[in-house]
Chains A and B, each alone.
Chain A
């Protein structure tokens, strides 16, 4: 116990240095940034893919889009996110001859990856909405797209909020791999502290605590959103 206390004291002294806690805060900001923007991109892509997959396959264009989405989902669910990050940063960027900072690449890859997962979540959500809702919308003369946008997807989103929260939490934790391409996140910030003192015990403990607090805050946020969206339900 005494070891821990001593190490804590030295960590405490270290973290009060503006350069050090500044880096931790920046790491925290990057982690939040990647997860939040990644999720938003993911929801947009996921919703589009889900709609493409549930659309009736009368037309050729619908079938082609469906195939493309299948390949997309297969790729992003079938390879580890680290691999996707490395491919994105070390393969796609040089091939396309673009320069981009690691953080941007991370956000995009996280968005694309989460899009694949959200698409399946969203598909389940859309299928959980009674077909009668679609029929009622179509019977009033609304187009398929309008019916989806105004009636089905809002109800689907309400049904999948808990699962979507899960996905968000996963994203937050997955951000710990972004240091593979040189981006600064929570993990990297705490590891840097450890590296500078050759003492890893307390920094890593603190890192775990920060992650837990983050996740608890998100859980609370999801609960609030859910409560608001459940207004039209009887089960409150």
Chain B
């Protein structure tokens, strides 16, 4: 699903990623662990080009996202992202947070299709072979209504439907993060990237977020997770990447990784965190 080929990233003179090659298949739950400053967050942020790779390729659905000519916004719709600091839109209510992107994308698609049809129609006057128009099967109001229904389904799922009309500033960290996760889900992404989703939470709220993530994993969502939660990595992950100094030092199934680490650096790291 995502092929990462020789990915390198530098900030100025600092080389953060020094050639990472890996493949993330559909349905996989890849957990990335490593010491701080190892480049694991940078790697994750390169996957949807939040950071533009310095060199290398990221092939998502046959297109290279690292190529500046690719319309990254179209691909980002299919790659959800959850941040350490939640990053809910502070000026929008919970419901608006979830609806914003689906509505905007849906409405602008309709607008684009209409514009294209307009020119096709004009062109068709002069063409012998008539070109087909793009079908528009929804109105703007329908898009909005669908997004609203979907948002309520998602909110009900996490039990926060009663918070639909409040602003994020009144919510707890765990609630914010769960809403951030369903906001990503509202776009029906093919893969979700989690950037240390529980690191900014109070210990007692970590559980509710991890539970939601486990549910997603059970439903077969493809996930790439940067985390310090070793328990989660062991339980949910299908593959562990251990990144240090900008390269993948070790890559294995959770069972093998935790019980039988190969690399001395991995052993050292695990002895500290476990």
Contact = CB atoms under 8 A, between A and B. Distances in A.
Interface of A: 58, 130, 132-133, 135-143, 146, 150-151, 154-155, 158, 231-234
B183 interface: yes
A52 B153 CA distance: 39
Contacts of A142: 73, 100-101, 104-105
B87 A141 contact: no
Interface in B71-118: 73-77, 79-81, 83, 85, 87-93, 100-101, 104-105
B76 A138 contact: yes
12 contacts: A130-B85, A132-B87, A138-B76, A140-B184, A141-B76, A142-B101, A142-B104, A150-B104, A151-B89, A151-B91, A231-B167, A234-B170
Q: Contact residue range for chain B?
A: 20 to 34
A142 B167 CA distance: 21
B169 A234 contact: yes
Centre residue among A136, A141, A151, A232 by max chain B CB count within 10 A: A141
Lowest 10 CB-CB distances: which A-B pairs, in order?
A: A141-B77, A136-B87, A139-B81, A132-B87, A140-B101, A232-B167, A141-B76, A154-B91, A234-B169, A141-B73
A72 B261 CA distance: 61
B48 interface: yes
B151 interface: no
Given A141-B77, A141-B105, A232-B169, A135 B183 contact: no
Contacts of B89: 133, 136-137, 151
Contacts of B133: none
Nearest to B168: A232
Interface in B148-187: 167-170, 180, 183-184, 187
Nearest to A143: B73
Interface string B185-215: 0010000000000000000000000000000
B50 interface: yes
Contact of B88 (A58, A136, A150, A233): A136
B85 A139 contact: no
A139 B169 contact: no
Contacts of A130: 85, 87
A120 B90 CA distance: 23
